[in-house]
Chains A and B, each alone.
Chain A
Amino acid sequence: AQKVTQAQTEISVVEKEDVTLDCVYETRDTTYYLFWYKQPPSGELVFLIRRNSFDEQNEISGRYSWNFQKSTSSFNFTITASQVVDSAVYFCALSETNRDDKIIFGKGTRLHILP
Chain B
Amino acid sequence: SQTIHQWPATLVQPVGSPLSLECTVEGTSNPNLYWYRQAAGRGLQLLFYSVGIGQISSEVPQNLSASRPQDRQFILSSKKLLLSDSGFYLCAWSGQSGRMDTQYFGPGTRLTVL
Contacts and interface: CB of A to CB of B under 8 A. Distances in A.
Task: Using C-beta atoms within 8 Å of the partner chain, give the interface range for chain B.
Answer: 20 to 34
Task: Using C-beta atoms within 8 Å of the partner chain, give the interface range for chain A.
Answer: 20 to 34
Interface in B79-93: 88, 90, 92
A35 B105 contact: no
A103 B103 contact: yes
A47 interface: yes
B43 A50 contact: no
B49 A43 contact: no
Interface in B91-113: 92, 94, 97-108, 110
B25 interface: no
Interface of B: 32, 34, 42-44, 46, 49, 51, 57, 88, 90, 92, 94, 97-108, 110
Interface of A: 32-33, 35, 37, 42-47, 50, 91, 95-97, 99-103, 105-108
Given A33-B100, A43-B108, 11 more contacts: A37-B105, A42-B107, A44-B90, A44-B106, A44-B107, A44-B108, A45-B105, A96-B100, A102-B34, A106-B43, A107-B42
25 contacts: A32-B100, A35-B102, A37-B105, A43-B88, A43-B108, A44-B105, A44-B106, A45-B90, A47-B102, A47-B103, A50-B102, A91-B44, A95-B100, A100-B51, A100-B57, A101-B32, A101-B94, A101-B100, A101-B103, A102-B34, A102-B49, A103-B103, A105-B43, A106-B43, A107-B42
